[in-house]
Amino acid sequence: MGMALGMALAVLACGCKKQEAPAPTFKMPAVATATAPEDAHYEEQKRIIAELTPFPPLGDGQLTKLPNGDVWVKYGCGIMVQDLRPKDEIPPQFGQFVRITYTEYLTDGAAREGRMVRQAKTDAPWDFRLGSKDVLKGLSMGLSTMKPQTRRRIFIPPELAYGEKGDPQSGVGPDEALIFDVELLSVWGEAMPNVPPPPDFIGPPAPRKPAAP
C-alpha cells in the first residue's frame, strides 16, 4: 500500500507541475516608406521648377507707332505685341501648359515679317510649359499676358531670341530679331512660382571650413 501511495503522489506531482511556455516572439512593424501626398506634390513641384527658366513680367507697355505705320504695344525689355483677336480671358501662369499654333519669321528690319523660319499648324500644335528652358524666353514672356483663344503677333529682340549665336539649323543668324504669329489655343495645369530654383535644386551647399585657431 505504501508503494501504491508513493506512485500516486508521484503521478500527482507530475500532473501539477507547470510546463514552461515557449518565449513569445515579436515582429517589428514594417517601416513605412511611402511618401506622404503633400511631400510627393512638393517633390514634383521642385522637379518641374528645375526644368523652367524664370522670366521677368512684361510690366506696363506703351502704344508705339513705327515709321512703317504699324502700331504695337512696346515693353521696356524690347518685346512688342499686336493683339489680332482680343478676348477677355485669364492669361497663362508660369509653369502651366500652353497649346499654340504659330509661324516664326525673321524680320525685314522694320518689325514686319521676312522669311518664314518654321511653324506649327492646327493639326500639329505645340504643347509646352510656360517658361520651359526649351522655349525662347521672349516667346514665353510674350505669351505670359496673352489670353486663351486669341491671336497675337510678338516681336522678340535678339537678346530674348537666339542672341549672338543665332540658330544655324533654322537659318537664323546672330543677333536677329524674330516675329511670331501665335494663336493660344488652350491653357491647363498647375501654376508654379516664378522664382529662381533654390540652392537645394543643385545640391546642398559645400560645408564650411573650420575657422583657424
User: Cα separation of 74 and 59, whole Å?
Assistant: 10
What is the rounded average pLDDT of the residues 152-174?
95
Q: Which of 178, 152, 180, 153 is nearest to 167 (CA)?
A: 178
Mean pLDDT, the chain, integer: 81
Residue 160 has pLDDT above 80, yes or no: yes
Residue 33 has pLDDT above 60, yes or no: no
Within 10 Å of residue 45's Cβ, how many Cβ atoms?
A: 14
Confidence at 16, pLDDT banded by 50, 70, 90: very low
At 56-77, the pLDDT tens digits run 999 999 999 998 889 999 999 9
Q: Give all domains of the chain, ordered by start, each with its CATH number.
A: 55-188 (3.10.50.40)
pLDDT at res. 23: 54
**Lowest mean pLDDT segment, chosen from 23-32, 81-90, 131-140, 146-155:** 23-32
82 vs 207, residue with greater confidence: 82
- Considering 29-33, 112-116, 127-131, the range whose residues carry the highest mean pLDDT is 127-131
Q: What is the dihedral of CA 58, 59, 63, 68, to 10 degrees?
A: -30
Q: What are the Cα distances from residue 84, in Å, to 99, 124, 173?
A: 18, 22, 28
At 105-114, the pLDDT tens digits run 999 877 888 9
What is the rounded average pLDDT of the residues 8-28?
49
Residue 24 has pLDDT above 60, yes or no: no
**Lowest mean pLDDT segment, chosen from 93-102, 124-133, 179-188, 192-201:** 192-201
